[in-house]
Amino acid sequence: IEAHVASAGGADGAPSAIVVAFRDLTEQRRSERMRADFVANASHELRTPLASLLGFVETLQGPAKNDAAAREKFLAIMRAQANRMSRLIDDLLSLSRIELKAHVRPRDVVDVVAVARNVIDALSPLAEERGVEVALLADGPALATGDRDELTRVVENLVENAIKYGDDGKRVEVTIATAGEGVRLAVRDYGPGIAPEHLPRLTERFYRPDVSHSREKGGTGLGLALVKHVLQRHGGQLAIESELGAGATFTVTIPAAVPAPATPALAKAS
Ligand code: ADP
């Protein structure tokens, strides 16, 4: 805590007014530190594929210059690395756009069931490739208040993670229900789950229990951070439950849409 003390002197030199302002420096320093860490982490994450790209360019210009087979192989790797950088930049931009809008509450009426159906359709090639069946369990439409594109990103991230990190050939369940003031969407997988010590940090940017495993799966480490920021801006919540060896459940709660007020009956003209 930093205290600023300012005093205005009276005629006799004694202070006639005193102002003490406290500023919570710990909070300010913490957020400065987080920002610096974030820039360092983002630079590091971008530099890794870039270094690999530069390495392959040098090899292609030098030792592998006339080796057609090596060239094909290296070009495929270079393409994958460039795609990785592109995904990372997309996620960084999405995150910063959402942060800019952090204090504006989105107000569209969004059917979360329709959003989930679209996401599951879009991810069906990935699910098929992994032999995963994604089931959608819902009774009817579930109307929430929010931003359709951002809520789509949330559901997409959670379902994609369940397919990627759950075990091949197992089921993923997306359950949606309206519960009181909120719409609840739960994504459950039956994969290896997450060790309890990682759970509290999972939504931090670039936090991954196993960085190389995440990279192998095409992850950027920003997916759950994005989910958290979108939900914060929506006045929603994220809960993560997991048991090692028994899978994981990610549950989001989004404020339900408020029904439009009934049109008041016209006052009878007298
Ligand atoms: P990534 O881009 O690495 O997927 P996320 O922020 O989406 O980044 O997730 C962070 C980490 O959380 C992942 O690297 C993975 O280790 C873990 N994780 C996320 N979802 C699951 C899941 N359904 N089962 C097991 N681990 C998961």
Which residue out of 165, 210, 231 has the highest number of ligand 1 atoms within 8 Å of its CB and is therefore the one to mutate?
165
**Amino acid 205: pLDDT:** 93
Minimum CA distance residue for ligand 1 atom 11: 208
**What burial class does residue 254 get, using C-beta atoms within 10 Å of its C-beta: 0-12 exposed, 13-18 middle, 19+ buried?**
buried
- Averaged pLDDT, 224-229: 96
**What burial class does residue 24 get, using C-beta atoms within 10 Å of its C-beta: 0-12 exposed, 13-18 middle, 19+ buried?**
exposed
Measure 25 CA to ligand 1 centroid, in angstroms: 33
Q: For the chain, give the mean pLDDT.
A: 89
- Averaged pLDDT, 212-227: 90
Measured between its terminal Cα atoms, the distance across the chain in Å is 67
Q: What percentage of the chain has pLDDT greater than the value 90?
A: 72
**Would you state the structure tokens that stand for residue 182, as one six-digit string?**
């909120």
**Amino acid 231: pLDDT:** 96
Measure 100 CA to ligand 1 centroid, in angstroms: 25
Phi-psi domain of 48 (left: phi exceeds 0; alpha: psi -120 through 50; beta: other): alpha
The reply to whether ligand 1 has any atom less than 6 angstroms from the CB of 190 is no
> Is the pLDDT score of 241 beyond 90?
yes
Per-residue pLDDT reduced to its tens digit, 30-57? 888 888 889 999 999 999 999 999 999 9
CA distance 230 to 187: 17
> Is the pLDDT score of 216 beyond 80?
yes
CA distance 27 to 46: 29
- Averaged pLDDT, 172-182: 94
pTM tops 0.90, yes or no:
no
> Is the pLDDT score of 270 beyond 50?
no
**Would you state the structure tokens that stand for residue 197, as one six-digit string?**
């010590």
